[in-house]
Amino acid sequence: MLYGRSAEISALDGVIARARDGSGGAAVVRGEAGAGKTALLDAAAVRGGPMRVLRTTGVEPESGLAFAALHQVLRPVTGLLGALPEPQRDAVRAALGLAAGGAGDPYLLGAGVLSLLAEAAAPDGLICVVDDVQWVDRASADALLFAARRLSAEKIAMLFAVRGDAPVKGVPLTVEVGGLPASAAAEMLASRHGVAPGVARELVELTRANPLALGEIAARLTPAQLAGRRPLPDPLPGGARLFGDGVAALSDAARHLALAAAVEPELAPVLLATERFCAGGAVRPGGDTGGRTGRAALAELEESGLAGLSGTRLHFRHPLIRSAVHEAAAPADVRRMHAALAEVTEGDARAWHLAGAAMGRDERVAAALAAAAERARDRGGYGTAATALARAAELTPEPRARAARLKDAAVAAWLGGRPGQAESLLAEARDQAGADAGLAMEIAQLRGRFELNSGNAAEAVRILAAGDSLGMLADAAEAASYVGDTAAVVELGRRAAAHPEGFLRDAVAGIGLALDGDAAGPVLLRRALARAGELGEAAEYLWAAAAASQLGESDVATEMADRAGRVARVSGMTGQLPVVLEFVATAERLAGRLASSRAVSEEGLELAREAGYANTVAAHLANLAVLAALRGEEDACERRAREALAIAVPHRVGLRAGVAAYARALLDLCLGRYATSHERFSALVAAGPGLGHPTVAGRTAPDRVEAAVGAGDHAGARAALEDYRRWSAHAATPESHALLARCRGLAESAEDAFGEALRLHTNPFEAARTALLLGERLRRAQRPGEARAHLRMAWETFERAGAGPWARRARGELRAAGESGQAPRPAVLDALTPQELRIAGLVADGLSSRQVAARLFLSPRTVEYHLYKIYPKLGIGSRTELARLVVLQKAPVAAEDML
């Protein structure tokens, strides 16, 4: 029976009840040692009724063994692996050691864990209990928490228990477990131990009503003390002494067995190591390798109530008993026990025991740990690999090898979504690298990449520009383009031109030379794009998109960005995906597919936050701010823009700061606040590197022209027209020429230019904007009959796109022109949530539910659940109808360019 925990039980019951109904979720039970967290989890699991229960408990000795906890929780359901999408199945099998090869990608592994839990949840639901999270190995914790953040459509409740303030990333509900209410504590003491009320009050005060301390202390009091006839002992048997007396009362053999169990939970090596330890490091002549001494000690330890068997493992009744065992042991005995265990274990466990036995630096031990780290990394356990490599570096005698291992540890920490740890390890590696120039350059390139993704982009340029390799020059040019430092991009392009011909060299050099007005630049860019068929990596496709963008070929740039997204999802290196999705989302937005752009950016934002890519977070926030502006959502636009600027400005990411500033100016333009919009656009153009961006200023010139005309600043409009004329001088696409014609129509009041623009437009959203401007001009010129067709087309397009402010403006103009027809039906896909829209698009491309699940890091059951909701929303009943509908709704147009 639990005393005084009705509120906590109710909170957990709510999570379980919602999961039973198909709306899964997770909760963290947090409290100090002895607060009763495990008892709460046990009670919650029992109250789940027919729901299946899977369970794992973190064990400190295994915290360095990749996927130890995951193996424990998933072992009962590995028979269901066949139902998973192949990439997810392979990742889970590799992580659990069921197949050769590597899991490699943490997203795929996390999605595979989610899918396997979803299969295990059928038909009655599943409760997954993870106790002592603070000791769960990092690889397991990352995979389990990835799943926990994606349970909304699953019949799964995940319950985590953690001691103190150890972080449990991304779980929204926390149930704090403190001391018991005084009345409940008194009731428990009276019921279980016969404690008098006055004594109970004193115990509650002295123990802060910690349930474990209350129970253990009461069990040690005499009847006279329990009744209040004798005073309580001073001090109480609490803290380290709570179990210290029990440990001290053990025989030497039982205490040594307890020490072995404190550093290794598996029973067989514990028994054998205890036998060897007691024999002074070797089994006595004629000794039993089964461990007669060990078995006798095990019986004594179980009889003491301090520990017990659970399968093949020896578990302490409470984690504090393990602490008491450690406190009672001399450091030399702990090292000797690790040495004994190293003789009877193998693989990763042996490596960690060797490290525990080491006195000073030892290359043999360091190499064993580095090998364990490599195995963890190959299976996707980057956090565990980082820990093992950092410890291996501590044990490495030679400074260069130590620096190399610290560098590798930093990379593993970065890939594991721990940028702070990665930067600390890399700083230590730099200090250790000494005069090794090659290693120093490797470390510098990593420092630059870390800065570019999560730190100061201008600092990334400084670090990366110090290198001479093509890879570092390309990274430096990328960083400079994010800052908005055109001069640096030009210089880096010229330096790259000195390298041998190849795709990356031509792309980097071509962009730099083109920005400098050198005629060789476009030639190199054309040559780079001619190699597009040879590309295979997401990063290469992004360079191809940048090359096409510089040439003004927006349709090719959009295609390259889309290819990058597809490759990043299936390549096994989806850590690039949040960055790639920046460009995919922007392309969708510029094509007028606002709902799709929002879906992509919301996915990218979630992944970037999980990975710790702060600057990519800013990118997706800025794009979402622009989308909110187009929908006329003032509060959302301002909030997203403010959040993006809070990252981009101090990090000197001028590209993202510029897009966020553009969102605010665009909002004012959409709402007809021309003077304010004009001021904001003027400030955007004047902003220097790190605060603004020349690309943003150049590509938003058509909006600047419109704002200036609306504000009555015709000279400003002509200046913006000239800016755009210069910007698009080398553009070869009809859409760029259409936008230039629209700018001329506004700035020069040339009606024929609007007609030219409408003939050239390939982007229906931009065509609608031109039609609205022309329709307004015609109506005001008392030509309503000519105006109506243009205004009707604009109204219908804006309604379908969800661009509310422009739709209302077009409708008002249409009514003023004498037409009051029915509002066009909005695009049916707008009824879908962002998640549903992503699924619908992939299903329309012909992907199966398993394939969609693999692309979006979901379970196949989640995909089917969403399809079940999508069909009635759209009034259809099959995948074929869905594909036809998506094709009709998604016009095949090219984006103007990528901001």
* 8 Å CB contact between 31 and 178: yes
**Nearest-angstrom CA–CA distance, 138 and 6:** 32
Q: What's residue 728's pLDDT?
A: 82
Residue with the larger pLDDT of the pair 193 and 103: 193
Q: What percent of the chain has pLDDT over 70?
A: 94
Q: Which amino acid is at 538?
A: A
Confidence of residue 484 (pLDDT cuts 50, 70, 90): very high
Residue 282 has pLDDT above 50, yes or no: no
**Which of 88-92's residues contact partners 24+ apart within 8 Å by CB, and which partners?**
88/112, 88/115, 88/853, 88/854, 91/380, 92/116
Confidence of residue 549 (pLDDT cuts 50, 70, 90): confident
Burial of 562 (0-12, 13-18, 19+ CB in 10 A): middle
For tokens 């009606």, name the residue: 751
Q: What's residue 277's pLDDT?
A: 85
pLDDT in tens, 826-851: 566 677 888 888 898 889 888 899 88
Confidence of residue 894 (pLDDT cuts 50, 70, 90): very low
Mean pLDDT of the chain: 89
Q: What's residue 666's pLDDT?
A: 97
pLDDT in tens, 580-597: 999 999 888 887 788 889
Percentages helix, strand, coil for the chain, rounded to the nearest 5?
Answer: 70, 5, 25
The torsion angles phi and psi of 28, rounded to 5 degrees, stand at -110, 125
Q: What's residue 824's pLDDT?
A: 63
Smallest CA-to-CA distance from 631 within 825, 828, 811, 798 is with 798
Residue 690 has pLDDT above 80, yes or no: yes
Residue 288 has pLDDT above 80, yes or no: no
Residue 101 has pLDDT above 90, yes or no: no
- Is residue 285 left, alpha or beta, with left meaning phi > 0 and alpha meaning psi from -120 to 50? beta
Residue 126 has pLDDT above 90, yes or no: yes
Confidence of residue 820 (pLDDT cuts 50, 70, 90): confident
Confidence of residue 572 (pLDDT cuts 50, 70, 90): low
Q: What's residue 1's pLDDT?
A: 76
Smallest CA-to-CA distance from 794 within 768, 767, 823, 817 is with 768
Rg of the chain, C-alpha, whole Å = 33
Q: What's residue 289's pLDDT?
A: 42
Q: What's residue 504's pLDDT?
A: 97
What are the structure tokens assigned to 442, written together?
A: 């490797």
Average the pLDDT over 474-493 and give the result. 95
Residue with the larger pLDDT of the pair 757 and 800: 757
**Nearest-angstrom CA–CA distance, 470 and 346:** 43
Residue 403 has pLDDT above 60, yes or no: yes
Q: What's residue 891's pLDDT?
A: 44
**Nearest-angstrom CA–CA distance, 179 and 212:** 10
**Nearest-angstrom CA–CA distance, 860 and 806:** 39
Residue 895 has pLDDT above 60, yes or no: no
Residue 140 has pLDDT above 80, yes or no: yes
Strands 52-57 and 126-131 turn out to be parallel
Q: What percent of the chain has pLDDT over 90?
A: 57
Sign of the alpha-carbon dihedral angle for 510, 512, 515, 520: negative
Residue 290 has pLDDT above 50, yes or no: no
pLDDT in tens, 312-367: 888 888 877 888 888 888 999 999 999 999 999 999 999 999 999 999 999 999 99
Q: What is the 3-state secondary structure (H, E, C) of 776-787?
A: HHHHHCCCHHHH
Residue 677 has pLDDT above 90, yes or no: yes
**Nearest-angstrom CA–CA distance, 202 and 208:** 10
Average the pLDDT over 146-174 and give the result. 91
DSSP state at residue 60: G
Beta-carbon contacts of residue 518 (< 8 Å; ≥ 6 apart): none
Confidence of residue 120 (pLDDT cuts 50, 70, 90): very high
Average the pLDDT over 526-549 and give the result. 92
Residue with the larger pLDDT of the pair 243 and 891: 243
Residue 234 has pLDDT above 80, yes or no: no
**Which of 425-434, 547-556, 563-572, 884-893 is the most confident on average?**
425-434
Q: What's residue 102's pLDDT?
A: 56
Average the pLDDT over 799-817 and give the result. 90
Residue 240 has pLDDT above 60, yes or no: no
Confidence of residue 286 (pLDDT cuts 50, 70, 90): very low
* 8 Å CB contact between 137 and 8: no
* 8 Å CB contact between 419 and 446: no
Average the pLDDT over 692-705 and give the result. 90
**Nearest-angstrom CA–CA distance, 818 and 244:** 91
Beta-carbon contacts of residue 344 (< 8 Å; ≥ 6 apart): 268, 269, 272, 273, 276
* 8 Å CB contact between 626 and 659: yes
* 8 Å CB contact between 702 and 743: yes
Residue 310 has pLDDT above 50, yes or no: yes
